[in-house]
């Protein structure tokens, strides 16, 4: 990958391929050929919400995230998980990377959007299965 636009195209294809999701927000900000910001808001048929925010820079053709947040909440606005690299929770072994669950803060490496989308689908499937 040589430009941040190539990364954005890959993400756009992933997001548009998500079943039962409406894109409420999709913003790409290209700051240079190798640096950009991405903000996405996906609303699912069950009214759950996935918000994605990334500040990315390409180094040697590889993406590096200056900041990221993947926030998934059920309806009505109850946190299911949030991955981020905000520099708090120094007690977590993977600091600054970590995952918030409904009950706890967990050690976690930086997941990709390709990993987040299936995680949401598994959770949504579990929710549907309980009804």
User: What's the CA gap between 115 and 120, in Å, rounded?
Assistant: 9
pLDDT digit string, tens, across residues 18-55: 989 999 999 999 999 999 999 999 999 999 999 999 99
List Cβ neighbours of 79 (8 Å cut-off, separation of 6 or more).
71, 72, 73, 100, 101, 102
pLDDT for residue 25: 96
pLDDT digit string, tens, across residues 85-118: 999 999 999 999 999 998 999 999 999 999 999 9
The total number of structural domains that make up the chain: 1
Q: Supply the DSSP symbol for 93.
A: T
pLDDT for residue 127: 57
Domain that includes residue 79, residue range: 4-130
Mean pLDDT taken over the chain: 93
**Does 77 have pLDDT greater than 70?**
yes
User: What's the CA gap between 3 and 24, in Å, rounded?
Assistant: 26
pLDDT for residue 130: 40
User: What's the CA gap between 94 and 106, in Å, rounded?
Assistant: 9
């Amino acid at each position: 990958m040589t430009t941040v636009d190539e990364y954005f195209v890959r993400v756009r294809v992933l997001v548009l391929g998500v079943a039962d999701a409406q894109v409420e927000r999709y913003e790409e900000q290209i700051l240079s050929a190798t640096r950009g910001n991405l903000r996405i808001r996906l609303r699912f048929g069950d009214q759950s919400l996935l918000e994605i925010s990334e500040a990315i820079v390409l180094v040697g053709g590889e993406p590096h995230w200056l900041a990221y947040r993947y926030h998934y909440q059920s309806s009505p606005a109850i946190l299911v998980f949030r991955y981020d690299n905000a520099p708090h929770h120094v007690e977590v072994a993977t600091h600054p990377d970590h995952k918030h669950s409904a009950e706890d803060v967990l050690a976690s490496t930086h997941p990709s959007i390709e990993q987040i989308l299936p995680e949401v689908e598994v959770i949504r499937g579990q929710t549907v299965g309980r009804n």
